[in-house]
Amino acid sequence: MRTVVVTDPPRADPADAQTLASYGVATVHEALGRTGYLGPEFRPAWPGARAGGTAVTALCWPGDNLMVHVAVEQCRPGDLLVVATASPSTDGLFGELFATALAQRGVRGVVLGSGVRDVADLRATGFPAWARAVSAQGSVKATAGAVNVPVVLGGQRICPGDVVLGDDDGVTVVPRADVPRALAAGQARLDREATNRAAFQRGELGLDVYGMRERLPELGIEYVSHREWSREQG
Amino acid sequence: MRTVVVTDPPRADPADAQTLASYGVATVHEALGRTGYLGPEFRPAWPGARAGGTAVTALCWPGDNLMVHVAVEQCRPGDLLVVATASPSTDGLFGELFATALAQRGVRGVVLGSGVRDVADLRATGFPAWARAVSAQGSVKATAGAVNVPVVLGGQRICPGDVVLGDDDGVTVVPRADVPRALAAGQARLDREATNRAAFQRGELGLDVYGMRERLPELGIEYVSHREWSREQG
Amino acid sequence: MRTVVVTDPPRADPADAQTLASYGVATVHEALGRTGYLGPEFRPAWPGARAGGTAVTALCWPGDNLMVHVAVEQCRPGDLLVVATASPSTDGLFGELFATALAQRGVRGVVLGSGVRDVADLRATGFPAWARAVSAQGSVKATAGAVNVPVVLGGQRICPGDVVLGDDDGVTVVPRADVPRALAAGQARLDREATNRAAFQRGELGLDVYGMRERLPELGIEYVSHREWSREQG
Amino acid sequence: MRTVVVTDPPRADPADAQTLASYGVATVHEALGRTGYLGPEFRPAWPGARAGGTAVTALCWPGDNLMVHVAVEQCRPGDLLVVATASPSTDGLFGELFATALAQRGVRGVVLGSGVRDVADLRATGFPAWARAVSAQGSVKATAGAVNVPVVLGGQRICPGDVVLGDDDGVTVVPRADVPRALAAGQARLDREATNRAAFQRGELGLDVYGMRERLPELGIEYVSHREWSREQG
Amino acid sequence: MRTVVVTDPPRADPADAQTLASYGVATVHEALGRTGYLGPEFRPAWPGARAGGTAVTALCWPGDNLMVHVAVEQCRPGDLLVVATASPSTDGLFGELFATALAQRGVRGVVLGSGVRDVADLRATGFPAWARAVSAQGSVKATAGAVNVPVVLGGQRICPGDVVLGDDDGVTVVPRADVPRALAAGQARLDREATNRAAFQRGELGLDVYGMRERLPELGIEYVSHREWSREQG
Amino acid sequence: MRTVVVTDPPRADPADAQTLASYGVATVHEALGRTGYLGPEFRPAWPGARAGGTAVTALCWPGDNLMVHVAVEQCRPGDLLVVATASPSTDGLFGELFATALAQRGVRGVVLGSGVRDVADLRATGFPAWARAVSAQGSVKATAGAVNVPVVLGGQRICPGDVVLGDDDGVTVVPRADVPRALAAGQARLDREATNRAAFQRGELGLDVYGMRERLPELGIEYVSHREWSREQG
């Protein structure tokens, strides 16, 4: 890995990140054709956390948070820090002191491929964090890594400046170039969902609302009464 | 797998399901001889969720919630939807819109072998859900499956019409034929626990309350003072 | 395994355990040179749990809580019960009735290498518990084990009388002989963190506060503008 | 669980089990509509193992192989022993001495939801075994279970007398009533595969052999040259 | 995800891929600064497998191998097929018939983020395959995906035309642009290892060969005789 | 952790280690009362590996093999190197060059809590290795650890000088003080097994050989014919 700190990457508009965060992770992931979601291993450190920001990335050695310290300096208001490790690690690379430093700089949250600690403090102060583990295991500051290079977390490539969103459902990434599309498609999806929600509240069925009923026979789905089914099963 | 929708299976009495839910998952699982529990992988989407209902089952293709839509139509008041997949999947096959539709039909909750999403909304509206994962990952509606056939979740076979119970300890199933036995044995267990609880609050010991003390020597258990033990360990 | 109950092991001072619990798991683990932490698999049964006590250990057969019953009798006020199994098991070896009995004896909490159950009751009554799983799966009382022998949980050796601490970050152990060092080093660390927190709130950077900035070039870390970086990547 | 030993269950024909084993696990699983497979966690103790027999089932307490001893007596020539545990366990409930006893009785192999040990001996003597783990961890013989009741392994229900098949791809179950269908559909599938294999060896493509090419545009799949694609991606 | 088949991507030289495969996965991963390795979850279907080729990528729906069929047609001699799924799946998306078709086209192997099956046949015919699981679980052909778009496997981004290498240590990717550097640095590393191997065979120590001895005191490492150490531990 | 290298710890007799290795992991683990086994996660790098030696321990930082280099110098003929990490890591801390150096010093094998690499070379040269993972992921040499301090692997405490044994069933540790007992009890167990094996080959049953038959009714086990059982199940 090249041990480099890339400065001043272009960023998406932090206001757009905030708007997308209000749409929610599931909605934005769907709106972009079911892409970008980091998977169920990334969990919020406390329930109700919600944030959206522009990614500053740090690539660390397992058990070593030197590059998190380096990355803090590269953060601006509206950013969200994204921390990956060179190989899998659950160690608690991030805690309350980092949160204090980031909050002071206007950073909106953190996503870690490793562990997070001081979760009682994070909950108390409301600093949003997502991680693969909660772990008190401490770190050294010995080995070089990189800041603001593309990283992969949960099977998703995250580039500096991309929008990263988190809520109770986990974390998703919106590539910087896709932000306008995400805004439009996300709003359209919310509108559609509002219509469908009203239909469901009136007692309509998804089979009809989504026009699936006629496709069921083509797919070979047959309806059988339980009485008949029981007879067939002997 | 046969791609069939079985209609109108006989169901246990939904009132009995409610009573069993009030006993709790651990109590009912114990009362039936330690059977029926789906294991620790099934977690509530929000703390404090509690529900009991009669199972409507859906067997889906991984990443595909077509059969959940089909299953909704088969649900009646007092039911609880149970969703299995043909092979392991954590995708979020169920979210807030489904919960809206089910709540409108008087359905009491959902148990998923896969993932659940929109958990902030489920918590806010109080719709009970248990799942193996929280995941925003979206689904297609492309492949046929089955509704109201027996499914296996967490090593337990669940037939349509069985009682399924969930609380903070997870999920357990009571086969329809065992409901009367579960009601009687569960109530008896609650009574016994109340007696034992009172004894413990008075300072009595389980060794005496459960009559285990005399069996300890037969099992080869010996008591040694720490001083003696330390001397033996060298 | 020798099937023995060791009585009256020497214990650390329960007041010191309480003090260390107030320092927090992460702080104490760090203060002792990043040792003692049981890893991220051990989670509190309810958020906000915090406890510190002197260990009484029980070594059980998987799925069998006979030795938990035996261990209860060995517990004194200020103790914290530690339960290990001879091979991995997630079964719910501990629930509300045990908590009632332990609370009556002044025991401060429980740590289980297996599962815990009745978590709704534990949360309601505020009895602190940490475990690898939440599981309603019940136990038998058939096979001998040991009480107050050294056990290993999460890669850490826990001897009877050691201090065991738990909070939202998990569980850590302080060997009895290390308690004075933990008290001193923990307090020193808290003081240092207060100083650093104030610096971060003023906008200072960890790179400077911890004196790392000058080491970065030695480690081969170079700073490159995004424009230059993009040119190099072609 | 009811602690019962069911004697003399009806069995499928052991010769049919042998024939199905020669078809292979993947072929039979597919032939029955992709049902019955126990999943990727079940691995052979040694590469090249292959067996098919009629199930004798044992349900054990975790870490306790009492019921395996009981089950041996219920085994006949052509049987295959299937061992489940009441909750997850990796302990080595089965080893070379059991294999010696079973081989003497004409039993064709063993499938364990827990662990297996003495794998060097099993490989040397060619006794087929599949398990979730290799583990030397020993067992007690203390707790009652059941023999020849239905068990669930890997999400599949196995009844005594069913055909169980294992090879390098894992383990699958054929319910006794489905054996005739499995024989016919398995042979038909082998024939079809032979035809397709010959086509592939001549250079034909699956898209054409399986008639999928025309469906691709309906599914929204478009072909784009790399040059064009690169231009679009900017 | 865009459902597109990208045709004729530029490829690295297949002869270079072969040379790099002869260097081995560990050597090439190290030579490129410890990058590109897909992690320990990717295992060969049979021991001794070794291959290197130019990537053709397929992105499938979980449990659905439609796009593998589409990808076969895009493969040329010297290629190596790389199969990812939109969300995690262990299903056996690839087996012996696919291997027959690919071998006929001069394809050198396959890497799957999901499962592989027919491993006895793959071993017998010597077709190299790496996968996250061995699984007989069958697939449908229902849902569109993509061919020759970048995919992420094991935290590594693989673009069509990149070199992918596999051996007993797993799988690594060399981006097309890095192939010349990998060839040079890999050969240099092999030469250096030969020198070091000779030194070790003469009894020299890594501490001296790699010049680490003098750094040990700076790192705070002290040497203590066991006698002294025991005295300190009390 | 104290960053110390402890020199010249007392060791068990390497000849005894060899004898115990010939008994096998399962036999020795059983002979010592089912203690010492490191669990099913530790697998041989190649089938058929078998070794026994006196432990030299190394405690490394995750992803950092500096202390393995330091440990090599502390190894003598008859030793077996044991490598733990301060927090979980699968990185390949050990490969063929280390094996060459150790073989030159008469070291009998290696056990790693992390990963191993170059397994094709290890298999070819017959150097025995056990690890939690096979991984090509490379290491740095940056952070201090310890040599010849007690470490915990797989829930077992291993002290320098203890006997460590490995075979196809995994790894077990025999504390130095227990070696005489292990030799005697292991030989006795082998003798007993030979007697039992002969009985099983004559067709006797474990129920009788181990005298369990009479205890079955006490344990509540009843025998029921399948006909009767089916009638009861309805």
DSSP letters spanning F160-181: TT-EEEEETTEEEEE-GGGHHH
User: What is the residue whose two structure tokens read 């897909």?
Assistant: E38
- Tokens matching residue A48: 């109700």
Name residue D129's amino acid: A
Chains contacting B (3+ CB pairs below 8 angstroms): A, C, D, E
Query: pLDDT by residue for chain E (234 residues), tens digit each?
Result: 789 999 999 999 999 999 999 999 999 999 999 999 999 999 999 999 999 999 999 999 999 999 999 999 999 999 999 999 999 999 999 999 999 999 999 999 999 999 999 999 999 999 999 999 999 999 999 999 999 999 999 999 999 999 999 999 999 999 999 999 999 999 999 999 999 999 999 999 999 999 999 999 999 999 999 999 999 886
Pairwise CB contact (< 8 Å): B138 & A29: yes
Chain D within 8 Å of C137 (Cβ-Cβ)?
yes
Alpha-carbon distance C230 to nearest alpha carbon in chain A (angstroms): 10
- Tokens matching residue D159: 């009844």
> By three-state DSSP, how is residue F129 classified?
strand
* Buried b or exposed e, range A167-194, using 16+ CB within 10 angstroms: bbbbbbbbbbebbeebbebbeebeeebe
Name residue F233's amino acid: Q
Pairwise CB contact (< 8 Å): D207 & E72: yes
DSSP string, chain A: ---EEEE------HHHHHHHHHH-HHHHHHHTTS--B--TT-EESSTT--EEEEEEEEEE-TTB-HHHHHHHHH--TTEEEEEEESS----EEE-HHHHHHHHHTT---EEEEEEE--HHHHHHHT--EEEEEE-----B--S--EESS-EEETTEEE-TT-EEEEETTEEEEE-GGGHHHHHHHHHHHHHHHHHHHHHHHTT--HHHHTT-TTHHHHTT-EEEEHHHHHHHH-
Q: For residue A224, give the nearest of E144, B8, C186 by alpha carbon.
A: B8
Band the pLDDT of C47: cuts 50, 70, 90. very high
Name the residue of chain B whose CA is nearest to C131's CA. Answer: B40
Q: What distances in angstroms separate CA F73 from CA E207, F53, F100, F114, one per listed residue?
A: 8, 16, 13, 21
**Residues whose CB is less than 8 angstroms from the CB of residue D164 and which lie 6 or more positions away in sequence, other chains included:** D17, D52, D53, D54, D55, D80, D82, D111, D158, D171, D172, D173, D174
Chain E within 8 Å of D211 (Cβ-Cβ)?
no
Count CA within 13 A, CB hemisphere, residue E195: 8
Alpha-carbon distance F34 to nearest alpha carbon in chain C (angstroms): 6
Chain A within 8 Å of B160 (Cβ-Cβ)?
yes
Contact residues, A window 169-188, toward C, CB-based 8 Å cutoff: none
> By three-state DSSP, how is residue C205 classified?
coil
Q: Considering chain A, what is the average pLDDT of its residues?
A: 97
Q: How far apart are CA F81 and CA F151, in angstroms?
A: 12
Dihedral pair phi/psi, residue B16, rounded to 5°: -65, -40
Cα maximum dimension of chain C: 72
Chain C within 8 Å of A224 (Cβ-Cβ)?
no
**Residues whose CB is less than 8 angstroms from the CB of residue B163 and which lie 6 or more positions away in sequence, other chains included:** B12, B16, B17, B20, B52, B53, B54, B55, B173, B174, B176, B179, B182
Residue B152 has its nearest CB partner, among D1, D34, D156, at D156
Q: What is the mean pLDDT of residues A11-29?
A: 98
**Residue F105, number of CB atoms within 10 A of its CB:** 17
pLDDT in tens, B110-147: 999 999 999 999 999 999 999 999 999 999 999 999 99
Low-confidence stretches of chain B (pLDDT beneath 50) = none
Pairwise CB contact (< 8 Å): D118 & F229: no
Q: Considering chain F, what is the average pLDDT of its residues?
A: 97
Q: How far apart are CA A136 and CA C163, in angstroms?
A: 17
Report domain D14-177's class. Answer: alpha beta
ipTM value of the model? 0.96
Alpha-carbon distance F1 to nearest alpha carbon in chain A (angstroms): 11
Q: How far apart are CA A194 and CA A190, in angstroms?
A: 6
- Tokens matching residue A27: 């909605």
Pairwise CB contact (< 8 Å): B43 & C92: no
What does the domain layout of chain F look like in residue ranges?
14-177, 187-233
Residue F182, pLDDT > 90, answer yes
| Cα separation of the two ends of chain D | 64
Residue numbers in F near D160 (CB within 8 A): 226
pLDDT in tens, A100-134: 999 999 999 999 999 999 999 999 999 999 999 99
Q: How far apart are CA F116 and CA F136, in angstroms?
A: 7
Q: For residue B192, give the nearest of B210, B171, B211, B214 by alpha carbon.
A: B210
Pairing type for strands B110-116 and B79-85 reads: parallel
Which of the residues C3, C61, C93 would you substitute to probe the D interface, choosing the one with the greatest number of D C-beta atoms within 10 Å?
A: C61
Pairwise CB contact (< 8 Å): D40 & E144: no
User: What is the residue whose two structure tokens read 């020759």?
Assistant: E148
Chain A within 8 Å of C201 (Cβ-Cβ)?
yes
> Residues for chain C: how many in total?
234
Map chain D to HEC letters.
CCCEEEECCCCCCHHHHHHHHHHCHHHHHHHCCCCCECCCCCEECCCCCCEEEEEEEEEECCCECHHHHHHHHHCCCCEEEEEEECCCCCCEEECHHHHHHHHHCCCCCEEEEEEECCHHHHHHHCCCEEEEEECCCCCECCCCCEECCCEEECCEEECCCCEEEEECCEEEEECHHHHHHHHHHHHHHHHHHHHHHHHHHCCCCHHHHCCCCCHHHHCCCEEEEHHHHHHHHC
Chain E within 8 Å of B142 (Cβ-Cβ)?
yes
Name the residue of chain F whose CA is nearest to C142's CA. Answer: F219
> Is F34 within 8 Å of C1 (Cβ atoms)?
yes
Residue numbers in E near A89 (CB within 8 A): none
Residue F92 has its nearest CB partner, among E26, E212, E222, at E26
Burial of C148 (0-12, 13-18, 19+ CB in 10 A): buried
Contact residues, A window 47-76, toward F, CB-based 8 Å cutoff: 61-64
pLDDT at F1: 76
Q: How far apart are CA B28 and CA B16, in angstroms?
A: 12
Residue numbers in C near D60 (CB within 8 A): none
Q: For residue F5, give the nearest of A140, E234, C173, E219 by alpha carbon.
A: E219
pLDDT in tens, F19-28: 999 999 999 9
> Is B156 within 8 Å of B82 (Cβ atoms)?
no
Pairwise CB contact (< 8 Å): F87 & A86: no
Chain C within 8 Å of F1 (Cβ-Cβ)?
yes
Pairwise CB contact (< 8 Å): C226 & A6: yes
Q: How far apart are CA F160 and CA C119, in angstroms?
A: 42
Chain E within 8 Å of F138 (Cβ-Cβ)?
yes
Name the residue of chain F whose CA is nearest to A138's CA. Answer: F87
Q: How far apart are CA C208 and CA C215, in angstroms?
A: 11
Band the pLDDT of C233: cuts 50, 70, 90. confident
Q: How far apart are CA A172 and CA A165, in angstroms?
A: 5
Name the residue of chain E whose CA is nearest to B135's CA. Answer: E87
State pTM to two decimals: 0.97
Residue numbers in F near D94 (CB within 8 A): none
- Tokens matching residue C153: 């949980």
Q: For residue A151, give the nearest of A114, A121, A202 by alpha carbon.
A: A114
Query: pLDDT by residue for chain D (234 residues), tens digit each?
Result: 789 999 999 999 999 999 999 999 999 999 999 999 999 999 999 999 999 999 999 999 999 999 999 999 999 999 999 999 999 999 999 999 999 999 999 999 999 999 999 999 999 999 999 999 999 999 999 999 999 999 999 999 999 999 999 999 999 999 999 999 999 999 999 999 999 999 999 999 999 999 999 999 999 999 999 999 999 886
Chain B within 8 Å of A200 (Cβ-Cβ)?
yes
Let me know the angle formed at the C-alpha of E219 by E216 and E225, rounded to the nearest 5 degrees: 55
pLDDT at B232: 87
Question: What is the 8-class DSSP label of residue F45?
Answer: S
Pairwise CB contact (< 8 Å): F225 & D119: no
Q: How far apart are CA A102 and CA A223, in angstroms?
A: 58
pLDDT at E232: 87
Q: For residue E133, give the nearest of E171, E84, E168, E90 by alpha carbon.
A: E90
Counts of helices then strands in chain C (DSSP H, E): 9, 13
Residue F63 has its nearest CB partner, among A63, A90, A135, at A63
**Residues whose CB is less than 8 angstroms from the CB of residue C8 and which lie 6 or more positions away in sequence, other chains included:** B225, B226
Chain E within 8 Å of D232 (Cβ-Cβ)?
no
Let me know the angle formed at the C-alpha of A155 by A151 and A156, rounded to the nearest 5 degrees: 55
Chain C within 8 Å of D114 (Cβ-Cβ)?
no
Name the residue of chain B whose CA is nearest to A165's CA. Answer: B136
Name the residue of chain C whose CA is nearest to F152's CA. Answer: C155
Contact residues, C window 117-136, toward D, CB-based 8 Å cutoff: 135
Band the pLDDT of C1: cuts 50, 70, 90. confident
Q: Provide, rounded to the nearest whole percent, the portion of chain B with pLDDT above 70.
A: 100
**Residue C150, number of CB atoms within 10 A of its CB:** 17
Q: For residue B232, give the nearest of C85, C178, C71, C149 by alpha carbon.
A: C149
